[in-house]
């Protein structure tokens, strides 16, 4: 069956092989007579699923032993509160604001700590990343937060900053919701990273937190126990019932990623996919993308049609051509094509052909 190409920003496309395997295993997982959804989270069957998922993820992302992998709930948005509750001690936290998501994070953190915006790309309309050499970091900040890929504005850090080289000893906190597993991560530059699974790892409902051991155990007294990283880590992500089915599907995605050649292979594919689409946009008269070329996102490509009256016909015809969910986020308008790992190059080729044909016949 040829399914349409799904360019949704999230919940996003999953690999077809994963969906097929889940369908086959739906009624009877590995001879257990149970669906994964019906298993006790403490059963040996489910324990094998979660342990395998953690081991595969550690392997894929080369996560050092000094970091805990936590499977939590609440999504990236809950982490905007959970992170300051765990890491700020009610004291200082510095934020790099590069688009909607980091801006949302700093606003939420204000409920819990003393927030300082160390850099803000707002004046430039979030079309470029403020250079780290210009960041105004406080020497005694508890942590520095950034969003490594701004899903709405389409900006990506192609390299994480080395805070130590900037004279800052605080840990870096990274919202990698829409970037995780698309490329390798330099863990030597990270204290904690978090992301909802529904962009590039699996279904909604699962939140991944990767946190360095020395950052555990400093949660504020009113932090809910279920959100205290120390408690979650000590209970192997089983302090409360974890999102079992979402963990199972994410585990199938991790095995799929291994079969694809791992994260470096995905990175190479993601570069090729993004280059194909940006090149088509840059060489057209109808489409444009305003983001500085040095920090264009490989995962989320926003673009605009020069004539807004063509937006709806573009979306209608794209849908008829089997190209789904291309409408841009309501806060910025235009279009957005998300090119996560599950999007094959053939999908981007089909989109580019469609865009060229649309421009030829309509513009």
Ligand X SMILES: *Cc1c(COP(=O)(O)O)cnc(C)c1O
List active site positions: 101, 175, 199
| Region of 171-179, 275-283, 311-319, 342-350 interacting with ligand X (CB under 6 A) | 171-179
Cα–Cα distance, 236 to 206 (Å, whole number)? 15
| Closer to ligand X by Cβ: residue 199 or 269 | 199
State which residue, 141 or 151, has the beta carbon closest to ligand X. Answer: 151
Interface region with ligand X, contact rule CB under 6 A, candidates 43-51, 65-73, 172-180, 283-291:
172-180
Q: Which of 75, 161, 251, 334 contacts ligand X by CB under 6 A? A: 75
Interaction residues for ligand X, span 182-241 (CB under 6 A):
196, 199
Q: Tell whether the torsion through CA atoms of 252, 257, 262 and 266 is positive or negative.
A: negative
Nearer to ligand X, 14 or 280 (CB): 14
Reading the block at residue 142, the tokens are 């508890």
For 28, the enclosing helix (H) or strand (E) is none
> Quick one: which of 178, 289, 325, 338 contacts ligand X (CB under 6 A)?
178
**Options 156, 175, 228, 359; binder of ligand X; rule CB under 6 A:** 175
Give, in order, the Cα–Cα distances in Å from 191 to each of 30, 36, 66, 76: 37, 33, 10, 16
Q: Which residues contact 234 (CB under 8 A, 6 or more apart)?
A: none
Answer left, alpha or beta for residue 261, where phi above 0 means left and psi between -120 and 50 means alpha: left
Binding of ligand X by 115 (CB under 6 A):
no
d(CA 303, CA 287): 6
Angle ∠(25,31,33) on CA atoms, nearest 5: 80
By beta-carbon proximity to ligand X, the closer residue of 77 and 352 is 77
Q: Interface with ligand X includes 76 (CB under 6 A)?
A: yes
CB of 8 to ligand X, least distance (A): 11
* Binding site residues, ligand X, CB under 6 A: 10, 75-77, 101, 147, 151, 175, 177-178, 196, 199
């Amino acid at each position: 069956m040829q399914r349409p190409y799904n360019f949704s920003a999230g919940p996003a496309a999953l690999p077809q092989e994963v969906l097929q395997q889940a369908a086959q295993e739906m009624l009877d997982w590995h001879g257990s007579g149970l669906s994964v959804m019906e298993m006790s989270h403490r059963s040996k069957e489910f324990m094998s699923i979660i342990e395998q998922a953690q081991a595969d993820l550690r392997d894929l992302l080369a996560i050092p032993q000094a970091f805990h992998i936590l499977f939590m709930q609440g999504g990236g948005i809950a982490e905007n509160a959970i992170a300051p509750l765990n890491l700020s001690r009610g004291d200082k936290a510095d934020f790099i604001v590069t688009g909607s998501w980091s801006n949302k994070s700093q606003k939420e953190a204000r409920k819990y700590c003393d927030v300082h915006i160390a850099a803000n790309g707002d004046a430039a309309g979030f079309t470029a990343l403020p250079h780290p050499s210009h960041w105004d970091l406080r020497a005694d900040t508890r942590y520095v937060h950034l969003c490594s890929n701004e899903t709405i504005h389409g900006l990506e850090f192609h390299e994480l900053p080395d805070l130590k080289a900037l004279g800052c000893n605080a840990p870096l906190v990274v919202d990698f919701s829409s970037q995780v597993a698309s490329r390798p991560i330099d863990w030597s530059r990270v204290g904690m990273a978090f992301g909802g699974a529904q962009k590039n790892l699996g279904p909604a409902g699962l939140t991944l937190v990767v946190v360095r051991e020395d950052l555990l155990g400093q949660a504020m007294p009113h932090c809910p126990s279920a959100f205290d990283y120390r408690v979650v880590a000590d209970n192997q992500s089983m302090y409360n019932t974890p999102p079992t089915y979402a963990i199972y599907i994410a585990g199938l995605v991790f095995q799929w990623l291994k079969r694809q050649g791992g994260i470096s292979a995905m990175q190479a594919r993601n570069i090729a996919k993004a280059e194909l689409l940006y090149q088509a946009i840059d060489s057209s008269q109808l489409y444009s993308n305003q983001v500085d070329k040095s920090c264009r996102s490989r995962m989320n490509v926003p673009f605009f049609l020069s004539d807004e009256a063509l937006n709806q016909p573009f979306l209608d015809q794209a849908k008829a051509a089997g190209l789904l969910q291309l409408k841009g986020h309501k806060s910025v308008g235009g279009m957005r094509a998300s090119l996560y790992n599950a999007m094959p190059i053939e999908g981007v080729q089909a989109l580019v052909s469609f865009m060229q044909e649309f421009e030829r016949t309509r513009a």
